Every structure is written in C-alpha cells, then in structure tokens.
Structure 1
Amino acid sequence: MSNTNWKMRSLIGSLGFAVLALPALAAEPAWVKKSNENAKLLLNVVAKYSPEGASSLGVDGFDEQITDMSRDQFEATNKDTRAVVAELNKRLKGETDAKVRQDLEILVKAAEDQMRTAALTRKYLLPFTDVNQLLFGVLRQTLDPRIPKERQQTIVARLEKYAGMTKGYRPITVLAGERLQERLKANPKLLGPYKGEVEQALNDGPALVKGMRELLAKSEVKGWEPAFAALEKQLAAYEKDVRAQILPRARADHRLPAELYADNLRQFGVDIPPQELVAKALTSFAEIRNQMNITAGLIARERKLQDADYRAVIRELKKQQIPVEQVMPLYAERLNQIEAAVRQQGIVSLPSRKAVIRLATAAENAQQPAPHMSPPRLIGNTGEYGEFVLTTGMPPDASGKALVFDDFTHQAGSWTLTAHEARPGHELQFAKMLETGVSTARAVFAFNSVNVEGWALYAEAEMQPYEPLDGQLFALQARLQRAARAFLDPMVNLGEITPEGVKSFLMEEVGLSEGMATQEMQRYIFRAPGQATSYFYGYQRLMETRQAAEVALRRNFKRRAFNDFVLAQGLVPPALLRKAVMQEFVPSQQ
C-alpha cells in the first residue's frame, strides 16, 4: 500500500515493524491452531528482540518493555533464530497435514531470509538510528485510539526507559551512538548512510517531536511529562551528534551494494532479475500511456479542451482542487459510490460496516509521506479495523520550503486512491483476514509486498470500468506510476538514471506534483529501495493467476467467488496463491 509497511522485510531485530497475525475475530480451524503453535517459536524471537513490535501486534506481556540497545544483539539473535529453525525442521519431518507442512516451510524460509538480510546489512552498512522516527512510531502505535486505554498508559514506562530514568537503563540516544561507534571501530570501511537520508531525518525531526507531544497531550495518559521533557533534551543533543558524527560519514552515492539491493527485491517478493523487471515495466508503461491518450482525448472533446495530450488534461483536471474541509466528505462520497458499484456488479463481498478514512497529521506526513493504510492490531483484536490515512504533503526542507501534494485533493483523483487504500483494496484485504482467519505463518511470515500491493492495484483495475472518464484517466495514471516505479527504482539503484532524473521524469511524464515526485524518489533511494517495484510485479502476478483460472473455468468463472477466495488466503506470495487457486478454487467451481 502506499504502504502497509515499507520495512516489513525486517521481521526480526528491528524496532519499528508492524506485522500481522491470526485475528481473534475468526474461528480457528484445527490445522490453523496447530500451525500457530509452530509460529509461536519464531514470534517469541521477535518479541525477545523487539518487544515494541510484539506490542504493536497486540501480544500481551510486552507493553512496558523496550528493545535492548545496551549491547550488540546480532550474534544472540542469530543463535536463537538458528535454534528455532532446527526445531521447525524437526517438526516438519514428522508432520502429515499438508497445510501445516506448508506453513512450517514458510516459517523456516522467513527465518533464513531474515538471517541473510541481517548478515548482509552488517557486512556493508554502518548502523544509523533515526531515533525521532523510531520513537514517533512507538508512540503512534501505542496511542492509537483503537488501542484499549489501559494499554496506552504503559507508554509512560517505555518513555522513562528510553530517557534512562528507570534504574538499569540509559538514554536510547546515547546507546544508539555507542552502537554506531562500536561497529565503526570493528570495521572502519562500513558504508555510512546516504547523505540525503540523514538530511531528511534532520529536517523531519522537529515535526516528529512536535507530533509526539501532540499525541501525548491529546491522549488520556497520565504522568508522561517528565520523561518526555527529558527525551526532548536528549533528542536535541542527539541531533547535534548526528550533524557532527554521522553527517560527515554519510555517503554521497545513494546506491546500495548490488548484493544488498538484490536482497531487498527478494524480500519484497520480486523473484526476477532487475533487468527483466525493467524490460517488462518499460513495455507496460508505453501501453498504458497509449490508453491514457485515448481517454484524455475523450475528456478533451467532452470538455472542449484545446490540448488533448494526457499530460495537459491531467494538469487541467488537477486545477479542480477542493478546500481542505471538503476533502473528507468527498472521499466518503467516493467510497459510497464505489461500494454501490461493487455490490451492483458482484465484484467482491463487502462488510456492512463503514470503512474509516482520515487526514494525516503533520507528523504522519513526515513519517510516511504517501497515503497509506494503517492496519489494525490482529492479535487480541476486539473489533478494530484498518484506517485509510490521507497525507497532504512533505514536511518543510532545510530552507523552509514545504511541498504540498495536489495529486489526491481534486475530484477525479479521489476515485482510484479510494479503491486502492479503502475498498475493495487494502481496508477490505485486512478486514477479510479478521473475518475469515488465516494462520500466523501465512499472515506474518509469508507476507511480501508483492502480494499485498498486487491486490490493491488489482482492486483499482476492477473498479476502473465503473468510474467516470476523468476517474478512469487517473486510474490509468496510477497504473502508469507503478510501471514507472518498476523501471526507475532498479535504474536509479543500478546507476542508469540520477535521482534528479527520476524526479523530473515523474513530474513531466507521469504528471505527479513536485511533493509526490520527491517522496517517490526518496522511496527508491533511501526510504525503501526496491519496495516500489512490488506494485507492478504483484499486479502482474495476480492477473496471471486470474487469467489462468478463467482459462480453466471459462463460463464457470465467477468474479466475486474468485475475489473472495483470493482475500481469504491472507497475505501469501504469488506462487502459493497460484497453487491454491488452481488446486482448490478451480476444482470447487467445476
């Protein structure tokens, strides 16, 4: 999603991840219960080394704990993970249930993938901790209105530990600096973070600190003020350390070592070489652009516009910006219209309750500039669902210049974004997991960005024929953007185009605002290199699977049945989904 989580690949050993597990709202089949017992082994490792992550899942018992940054945890994490892999392989040998066996294989692969990623990161990169981002993420998760009030109060204990006010703890800012110096001493040749990433972190810092204070002030949490006051001073000091110690070591070249970038693609679910991905995406870009010119021509004729080129028509339609106070009513109206079409056309089964859409805060804009789905906690869930968060721009840069988006706050652009982030896209995707129930292995450890984003683009395509012409043009623009991502991301990371070239291409050929093009470029080069390719590739793989089912079933193919089946599988990668469709769905329809 624009993005349910850019850093989902860091399942173990990272502070800020948000993952999914078996929801409490659905009945638990016997095989799922058995599978989840196996998954607990790996979840326990996650909880041990990232208790904040366990809490974000809804797991009890970790709300007051924080990640231990007082010492290097690499070897300890590897040791525990290898022990879990050995036990899972032992269980695999004696397991007879096909689905449980498949889940065991998923768990083993996830653990081995994570160890490989951690080893590569350690081999090449100097650790840089953006403490502002880290703490804002924890506060945002803990103080989410969907979280019970008693759990929100536990944030005080964490703040006191982060600030070093609790006996046995030292400030997280000090520990982050120590871990950096420790790795630098061990290997002076490690690559520093990209200079643009450090500069953006410094620019975002004030907005994130302000956002943390606002979250705490608006909550009903008591007694947070002393710890947060101490943290504010420590964060200010840490900012000076970053400028003095890290910025001079930052690298000017944004490119990752080839081995690391290839691993990124693999973790996000792209299982073909970058060059093959680029070739597919370039061809698709040209085909979509042709469709856009046809649609733009129809709009130009209808509205008597002088220039029928898709770029000119997009610029003209974007002028229909709406006031901020009317944005949410517009998106609520779009959602109602889309849901009516879904029901009328029999596209997919919808819940009777309403989806939630809200505007992002300034701090959320800084943390994650693109519109995105904020997923619900899926362990211990008592009826909470995901939220579509609509961002409005980039935070000010060092010069004070703020880049506001005009990409979503106009009439035509609201159609496909609603379909992607709300229904029948991500909001429905997460809701179905709550309502049907999937195993932890399939929801957490089989997750990859290709599958989750593939469904959202597929949802856009399902809705496009039922939208007005201007809505269809922006649906095609969104697909054009995803094709562009799939060649620009590899090209900029392979040194075949500059970051400035990426930005200008997105503004001139795709029609994005400067703010949107800037955050896109940043996504490719330091926010999440490789992740942006997953949208295009996931959509292609899901469409391949659907077409295979249609060829097998012909007149017996039923769209709603297919779409409901796909959602019921959880966040599994394309190969597993294709297997389930051909071995389970197709025979059931014949």
Structure 2
Amino acid sequence: MPYKKLLAGAITLALVSFQASAATEPAWVTKSNENAKLLLKVQAKYGPENASSLGVDGYDEQITDMSRDQFDAINKDTRAVIAELRKRLKAETDAKVKQDLEILINTAEDQLRSAAVNRKHLLPFMDVTQLMFGVMRLTLDPRIPKERQKTLLVRLEKYAGITKGYRPITELAYERYVERQKADKNLLGPYKGEVEQALNAAPAMIKGMKDLLTKSELKGWEPAYAAIEKQLTAYNAKIKSEILPKARTDHRLPADVYADNLRQYGVDIAPKELMAKALTSFAEIRNQMTITASLIAKERNLPNADYRAVMKELKKQQIPVDQVMPLYGERLQQIEAAVRQQGIVTLPDRKAVIRLATEAENAQQPAPHMSPPRLIGNTGEYGEFVLTTGMPPDASGKKLVFDDFTHQAGSWTLTAHEARPGHELQFAKMIEMGVSTARGVFAFNSVNVEGWALYAEAEMQPYEPLDGQLFALQARMQRAARAFLDPMVNLGEITPEGVKSFLMDEVGLSEGMATQEMQRYTFRAPGQATSYFYGYQRLMETRQAAEVALRQKFNRKAFNDFVLAQGMLPPALLRKAVMEEFVPSQR
C-alpha cells in the first residue's frame, strides 16, 4: 500500500476486509479464503496491528518488530507466497477462485513493487504519535468486545519497552531512520510541512490517548501510558531538533514514487490524461452550478447570482453545535425516504450511526470520514460516519475551523457520501452478504470505494432541494479539481499555496478545508485525492454500458444492488461482472 505509515495501512485494511462464516458462504468462497490466508499470514507476521484491526485472532498482543530492518525478510516471504499462489492457479478449475487467485497474485506483486520504489527514494520517517493514537482508538472502539480491548495493556507495555526483551518503539523508529540515512546518503527525508504538521497535531493526540484510556474500563494502564507519554514527548523533541531542520522544502515526490501512489490507489492512466479529463469535467460542472445558483438567487432575491456568492450566502446559515447531530439525523431520514420512494437501492432496516469527532480525531484525520467496523469476526457492529469540525493548530497556534458541513444546504451530499447510500451502506452490504477475502481485502483500492460514494451523491442529487443540489455539484467540482490539482502540484505546475487559493476562490472551500486538501495532495496521501473523480467516472461508464445494452430493461435498483454485492472490486473487474453476469440476468 502506498501509505508510508503503519497506521494508515491498518485503517485501510480495516475498511475493506470481511470473511463470512464457513456455514453460510458458498463453497468457492471457502476455497478462495483458504488461498487468501497465505497472504494474510505474511501481512500479520510483519504487521500484527493490521491483523488484529481486521479481527483476526491470535495477534492482539503482538506488535510490529522494529528492532531490525525487515525489508528483505518481507520480500522473501511474499515471493514464496506468490510462487505457491501461481502453483494453485495452474491447478484451479473454478472460474471465480481463479479470478481471486489472480487478484491475490497481483496484489502481492504490487506490494513488492511499491515497497521497492519507496525504499529506493525515501527515508522511513514515522509519526509514532499518530501510530500510537490510531492503535488505541481502534482497540478501544466501543464496538470492540471488552475482552479484546484488554489486550491493549500488553501492547502498551511492549511499546513502552517495559516488557522484558522489548525497547521503546520511539527509540526503534528513530534507529531505523538513522540506519537508512547512513546506508544511502541520497535518500529523501520527509517534507517540512509533513514534519511540522506531525509536531503540531501531537499534543491533541497524546491528550486523546489519555482520554480514551480514562474512559475505558481497563485497569492498570497508568504506568505504561506515563512511560509512552514521556517517550513520545522526547521523540517529538528529537524530530524537531534533528529531523525538521534537515527536512526537504520541496514537497514533490520522485516521479516513480508518485506514479506508484496513483497505481496503488487504483488510477491506471497517466497523470496528464487524468488532468485533461478532470479539467473538462470541472468546466462542465461549473456551468451546472451557474444555472443552479441563478435559480436559487431568483428564488431568494439574492443580489448576486454568481455561484460563489450564492454559496457564501447559504453558508451563513451555520447550525449551532448542539443542533448539528439532529440536523444530520434528519437529513439521513429524508435521504432514506427518497431512496425507498425512488427505488434507488435496497436499504437495511436498522439506523446508520453519525457522530461528531473528538479533538484528537480532528488532528489525526481532519476530513469527515467513515469509521469502519471490525469486519472479520463481526458480531453485528456497523460503521460510523464521523463529522470533523476543524484542523489542529498550526505552528503559530492558529486553529482553522470548517464551515463547509455545518450549514443546512451542505448536509445533504455529505450524508449521502459518508452514510447512505454511500460508504456506510457499502460496508453494511459486505457484513450482511459476505464476500471473499480476495475481493473484500486484496481487490480493494481507493478508486472503487470512493467511486461508489461519489456515485451515491449523484444518485441523490435530483431529489434534494435546490440549495442541496448546489452543494452536491460543489462536492463533485471539488473532486474534479482534486484530479488535476493533485497531479499539478506533484508535477510542479502549481504551488501548494496556489492549490489552497484556487480551492477557496473557485470551489468555495473554507480556509480550513482548503488547507487540509492541500496537505492531502502534498504529504498526507499524494495521489489519493484523484481516486474519487476517477472511480466515479469508471462506475458511470459501466452503468451507461449496461443501460445501452439493456435499454428499457435496465433497472437502477437491481444494478446498484448488484454493484454493492460484488464487494470492493476495482473498475475493470466490476465492468466484467456487470456485462457478463448482470446484463444477461436482466435480459
């Protein structure tokens, strides 16, 4: 995976993994999952935090071994798995199992390629504070069984170096950084903005760890936490004194690293081609926004019909904090009613969960997001739509808040994206229907998961009021802007400040939202932001192909239910399934 941070890998896997019980799954799924265990075992060996976040038994008390460089060992074990999977592929006769074997092999080869290109160019900078907060947040999630939460105490003592045979993870992370620095003087260190942001966000996350532990039912955590707090403070001081002064001022990644990022996120076309598609789409969406804004201006007697002015006026309708959650609950009910009335997709009977983020969660991940459930060994837990409220303070202490989601009109499309019929429904369908591990875990990329959520926004737009439609278009415009601004800033065709000002002036984002967007393109996850636009485009292409093939026989609800039933398939495999399975079944 392209994320350099262990935490991000854990979250990504947690988003997409699911394993149905052997009693209910088809025989081909059982056989496919046995094959997938080979690759899961390697990932668990070198990233046990990932495995336990999936719900896999046996890894809850283990931590990643950072006492030595593991690059060669991981490569050796992964290549052995690839060889075995290829052997099984030659002997396999079931078409679905064969396809899953190809998914597993391709995923393993992609992981090797990505690890090699990152090792060739980059020093292994680790934000240990973010890692520790992520592990604690995932383990102490109320949806996790209490018995499983207790294993965190064992991990904390190992991270702190209290357990015999272990040393503090902060010391080991710094040693691995210096080790690679001495081994190759040409390796690039972290970008200055990334280091500054890690240091700025650290206090909120350290406090967030203590808050999580205090609110939990764990006993005896205080000594380990005290040691970790002291170690993180010292580690961050060392980052400030030793790494920050030498951090690179140019945010741009080497071309092959950025290209690998795009590939890992699911974008399989060249940056220039992506930019051309996105620039055209941006102009078309802007035209639609101009029409919609003029209708709203006429309806409300606004003096300026420009879409920017109309959005600014609508944003003034900010909702008091104590009314934000009731508003989003109301939006969800309205959207669900429209989904059922219009026959868009099949919804569960239970309610979706929406909650406000904590300050620590704001620091870790500023953008609104879906907090996924534990999907292996799941006993009925579901995802949560987490609404963030701002950025952590910058180096000067300035804190940027968002006005993008806490107003009447902006709540429609965000609810459709993160809750229903977007991400929450995606994960719910995997829990309720079950998919093979290969299709749920290893076929995943950002393009297919975010493509569905943006598609869900478009499905709901016609049934929203005019002001809601305007901000639905703004959200789509933002995704098109991402698909040309992210490559442009990484190719040196625009500056980070240019990105921020464009998003504020032309897309209408708040300074806080524009800042976190710029950070996403430059160091949080370069390349990832392009996946929304590209995934939406590919899914719409597939739907249109099905409509052309079926004409009057095309059924939207049947199509959307079929897409969700496939799990997290990437675009090419989804298109194949739609044209070879869905279309013939509808005829």
Q: Name the residue aligned to 2:289.
A: 292
Residue 416 of structure 2 corresponds to which residue in structure 1?
A: 419
C-alpha distance in structure 2 between counterparts of 1:586 and 1:509, whole Å: 41
Separation of aligned partners in 2, 1:292 and 1:174:
53
Give the one of 374, 379, 382 matched to 2:376: 379
Check if 1:350 corresponds to 2:347: yes
2:95 is aligned with what amino acid? A
The equivalent residue for 1:220 is: 217
Change in Cα spacing, 1:155 to 1:11, as seen in structure 2 (3 Å) is closer
Q: 2:185 aligns to what?
A: 188
1:18 equivalent in alignment to 2:8: no
Distance 2:428 2:479 in 1: 25
Amino acid at match of 1:413: G
Q: Distance in 1 between matches of 2:245 and 2:7?
A: 30
Matched, 1:252 2:249: yes
Aligned amino acid, residue 575 of structure 2: R
| Aligned equivalent of 2:66 | 69
Partner amino acid for 2:330?
Answer: E
Distance 1:10 1:263, change over 3 A: farther
Letter in 2 for 1:245: E
Distance 1:9 1:429, change over 3 A: farther
| Aligned equivalent of 1:30, options 24, 27, 30 | 27
**Amino acid across the alignment from 1:437:** G
Note closer, same or farther for the CA distance 1:344–1:8 as it changes in structure 2 (3 Å cut): farther
Q: Aligned to 1:373, what secondary structure does the other structure show?
A: strand
Instruction: Please state how far the C-alpha of 1:49 moved relative to its aligned partner.
Output: 0.4
1:249-328 alignment, distance < 5 Å:
249-328=246-325
What CA deviation, in whole Å up to 9, does each residue of 1:148-194 have, x standing for no partner?
00111111110000000000000000001110111011001110000
Cα distance in 2 for partners of 1:396, 1:240 equals 17
Matches of 1:263 and 1:15, distance apart in 2: 19
Aligned residue number for residue 364 of structure 1: 361
For 2:465, the equivalent position in structure 1 comes to 468
CA distance in 2, matches of 1:240, 1:137: 21
> Is the CA contact 2:500–2:514 (under 8 Å) kept in the aligned structure 1?
yes
| Paired letter, 2:126 | T
- Out of 448, 465, 478, the position equivalent to 1:481 is 478
Question: Structure 1 residue 22: deviation in Å?
Answer: 2.7
Which residue type is aligned with residue 538 of structure 1? G
Structure 2 match to 1:229: 226
Q: 1:197 to 1:11 in 2, by over 3 A?
A: closer
Contact conserved, 1:17 with 1:53, CA < 8 A, in 2? Answer: no
Counterpart residue number, 1:493: 490
Is 2:497 the partner of 1:516? Answer: no
What code does the residue aligned with 2:564 have? L
Which residues of 2 match residues 430-445 of structure 1 at below 5 A?
Answer: 430-445=427-442
State the Cα RMSD in Å. Answer: 1.4
Number of the residue aligned with 1:160: 157
How many residue pairs align between the two structures? 585
Distance 1:171 1:266 in 2: 35
In 1, distance between residues paired with 2:455 and 2:4? 23
Alignment of 1:41-60 (within 5 A): 41-60=38-57
SS of structure 2 residue aligned to 1:350? coil
Matches within 5 A, 1:115-126: 115-126=112-123
Q: 1:282 is paired with a residue of what secondary structure?
A: helix
Report the TM-score, using the length of structure 1 for normalisation: 0.98
What is the CA-CA distance between 1:13 and the residue it aligns to?
11
Cα distance in 1 for residues equivalent to 2:458 and 2:348: 20
Q: Note the alpha carbon deviations across 1:314-347, whole angstroms, 9 max, x for none.
A: 0000000010000000000000000000000000
1:8 Cα deviation (Å)? Answer: 6.6
> Distance in 2 between the 1:517 and 1:90 partners?
49
Distance change >3 Å, CA 66–CA 456, structure 1 → 2 = same
For 1:518 and 1:309, how far apart are their aligned partners in 2?
A: 24
**8 Å Cα contact 1:24-1:378 kept in structure 2:** no
Q: 5+ unaligned residues in a row in structure 2: which ranges?
A: none
- Judged with a 3 Å threshold, the aligned counterparts in structure 2 of structure 1 residues 12 and 75 are, in CA distance, closer, same or farther, namely farther
Partner in structure 2 of residue 3 of structure 1? none
**Native 8 Å contact 2:251 2:490 kept in 1:** yes
Residue 491 of structure 1: SS of its match in structure 2?
A: helix
> 1:453, CA displacement in angstroms?
0.5
